[in-house]
Structure 1
Amino acid sequence: MDRDLISRLAHADHPVAAPLGDESVTRLLARGLPRLDARILDLGCGGGEWLLRALELRPQARGEGVDLSAVALEHARREAERRGLADRLTVHHLDAAEFTGPPADLVLCVGSTHAFGGLLPALAAARKLLAPGGRVIVGDGYWEQEPSAEAVELLGDLADLPTTVDMVTADGWVPVYGHLSTRHELDDYEWNWSGSLAERAPDQLATATEHRDEWLRGYRHCFGFLTLVLTPVARR
């Protein structure tokens, strides 16, 4: 089965493709959307859930999403129609790293920094697309504890929490709010990922089982997820 379709099925019961609960998403969006008529851009939008929730939160706002997955973008279009938001949402089938467009009041990149090669390259791309006075919401993983070699192989070369925040601030950003995913949010995401895929695609049971085993045995003990609301340091 196509990897994009596997991802779509795995997120059927957890449409936010990151380990965050509904209240956390709403709180982060509220802090990132000071303007009622904001222009919102999601780099690596997937199924568009962050954008759709932002548009529901700000009825005068307009959203734009960029993603390489045609399957995910079609889901975003259908959901926008179903929720009565289609006239305020535009999606682009494009590599997020190649996107150019008018400045946005809020740039989102949660769980999709890999599209740019990591956290700091993702922030560099967001900076280029950010309107004056705008904010960025970025979400990425970090190590809560010393990782095993298997965890590093699965998830890449992450840093611990203080180092991650130091990297962001040294890059010229001010965190105005942040959220550390709770144990419940992390576990809820993973149970939904493997369970939703196994339930909706029985032929992918081996894939679901492999993912669950990688989580339980490989990185559950050491992986954390940080979401930050950022503004760029004012230049003098």
Structure 2
Amino acid sequence: MTTPPHRTRLTFHGPLSQTRADALVQRLTRHRPTTVLDIGCGSGELMLRVLAAAPEATGTGIDLDTDDLARGRKAAADRGLASRARFVEESATGTTHGPADLVLCVGSSQALGDRLPDALRELRRLVTDHGRVLLGEGFWERTPTPDELSRMWPDAAATDHPDLATLIGMTVDAGFRPEWTETASLDEWEEFESGYLADTEVWLAEHPDHPLAAETRERVDRHRARWLTYRGVLGLAYLTLVPVAAR
């Protein structure tokens, strides 16, 4: 039975443009990391780009999605990086992988703790004293209304995310200084969310009577309605964090 394709048009599993990715890789490899740890790596695209730019580095990606990990391993092999990139199927909670010179945690802080302050303290544990952390974390561009929250994800609450100033303050409290602060643009969000659904939308148009069409249509319509609700309300910050030296 033909099944709907999914996510084949996405390079990154998040609102991240090629231009921003290139700038991030340049910045994150400036201090010549030799070890990279990617928390919730997915297919590890950003980690692989870092490894390509830092030929002395090895990387470990941790995730629970076996399909994403398989794609990461294939991508590493295709780029000649298989000997320097490991993809591990396990939970990041209490991970023993680390400390690393560079820790990537993009949209995955929940893998390190239910509360953001706990996750940030874990990131400080996982990075070497002279390393860097790239934190990709959600924040509210503005406080959502009760009506907007009711149309987002299940049980969405205003307390799910801080504002940007509070988020950066939390990283400082956890033992970091923010070297660089940038946020995903609306164009990046739209490219990501459109790319996330595009293959399935085309499949639905071509297979309106398929046995899986009704279920798939409901899921896609629900996802689209949610992201159009949080469009311009939910932001994503990319924070390059420097650990404060221990006294």
**What TM-score does the superposition give when structure 1 sets the normalisation length?**
0.88
Where in structure 1 are there 5+ consecutive unaligned residues?
Answer: none
Match of 1:232 among 214, 230, 243: 243
Mapped pair 1:166 → 2:169: yes
1:1-236 to 2 correspondences below 5 Å: 10-36=6-32, 38-116=34-112, 117-149=114-146, 150-151=148-149, 154=153, 157-199=160-202, 203=212, 204-216=216-228, 218-236=229-247
Between Structure 1 and Structure 2, whose CA radius of gyration is higher? 2
Where in structure 2 are there 5+ consecutive unaligned residues?
Answer: none
C-alpha deviations, 1:68-127, integer Å up to 9, x for none? Answer: 111111111111111211111011100011320242100010011122224333222222
Inter-CA distance 180–10: structure 2 relative to 1 (3 Å threshold): farther
CA distance in 1, matches of 2:241, 2:82: 28
- Length, aligned pairs only: 229
Inter-CA distance 200–113: structure 2 relative to 1 (3 Å threshold): farther
Displacement after TM superposition at 1:206 (Å): 2.7
Higher helix share: 1
C-alpha deviations, 1:7-61, integer Å up to 9, x for none? Answer: xx64321221111101111212222223435210001101111111111222222
CA distance in 1, matches of 2:179, 2:43: 27
The root-mean-square deviation of aligned C-alpha atoms, in Å, is 2.2
- SS of 1:17's equivalent in the other structure is coil
Inter-CA distance 37–130: structure 2 relative to 1 (3 Å threshold): closer
Displacement after TM superposition at 1:200 (Å): 5.9
> What code does the residue aligned with 2:7 have?
H
- SS of 2:93's equivalent in the other structure is helix
CA distance in 2, matches of 1:28, 1:118: 26
